[in-house]
Amino acid sequence: MALLNMAQAINQALRYEMSRDERVVVLGEDVGRRGGVFLITEGLLEEFGPERVIDTPLAEAAIIGVAAGMAMNGLRPVAEIQFADFIFGGFDQIVSNVAKMRYRTGGQFSVPMVIRAPCGGGVKGGQFHSQSPEAYFVHTPGLKVVIPSTPSDAKGLLISSIRDEDPVIFFEPKRIYRTFKEDVPDGDYTVPLGVARTARPGSDVSVITYGATVHDALAAAEKAAGEGVDVEVVDLRTLLPYDREAISKTVQNTGRVVIVHEAPKICGFGAEIAAYIAERELLSLEAPIIRVTGYDTPFPYAYENLYLPNERRILDAIRKAASF
């Protein structure tokens, strides 16, 4: 094992898959000599050459369209979108072509490609470099959507995504790229898509979350423990498909649920989780479901720390659920 942060773990995953499978190629804005704006692809150009590490024009529709063509013709492209906010330039390619190709061709073509994009706030990026657009893609049949919260999961989930036969949107919470390190397994390490993990076991309140807010939830859970409330934290890891069994299990276990994500509340992914719980586990609930999310406004610059669902806001929700 090696002690890595998330940025290093993603780089290791890309390097491993490119070494293992010559069909894997990387493309995007500044991914070559620069190594990407966050240096995630640093060193890959020198190791694998310009035919497999391709600097592209500033054109997201072209990046995704070219990657789709590569995937349909036998390659395994990993396309980088410099910030998740810029993915909307290629939105039509993703939802109209990439997501529907297997269905519209009756299985004659698959599109085994990954679209990587740094998402979320926490780096003073303002409105155009801080968004969390995952719900748009979860709403699109034909895609898979992944958001890791730890270095080891980032490596394992990315390798699984590259090997998957369907297109995967792989969002990377950029505020935790370099905030902490952990032991990451060497070599051929995978984490299955669609399987959640229990980041912290507990018996009184469940916090269901993903991405960077997993760490905020864990911090709030530690504070709650000091007040006598035992909090279980479930990290979904994959949003499409999501782990329904894990959600049912934690709701049955605690009967009290707090759902946390950075994206705005209205039609955010938490609404889907809340609806699933209401449909399948209503009789297990001992309190109303509470959502702690970003606000229904453009992402702010000066008030970023107020917008994000931080430890304090999550702890308040835990207290409310526990005392109902």
Coil, strand, or helix at residue 291? strand
For the purposes of burial, counting CB atoms within 10 Å of the CB of 126, is it exposed (0-12), middle (13-18) or buried (19 or more)?
middle
β-strand partners of 28: 55, 80
Catalytic position from the list 129, 139, 215, 261: 129
Query: Which DSSP state fits 299?
Result: P
Coil, strand, or helix at residue 274? helix
Coil, strand, or helix at residue 152? helix
Alpha-carbon Rg for the chain, nearest whole angstrom, is 19
Whole-angstrom distance, CA of residue 272 vs CA of residue 284: 18
Residue 129 annotated among the catalytic residues of the structure: yes
Query: Which DSSP state fits 284?
Result: G
User: Is 133:87 a contact under the CB 8 Å cutoff?
Assistant: yes
Catalytic residues, which ones? 129
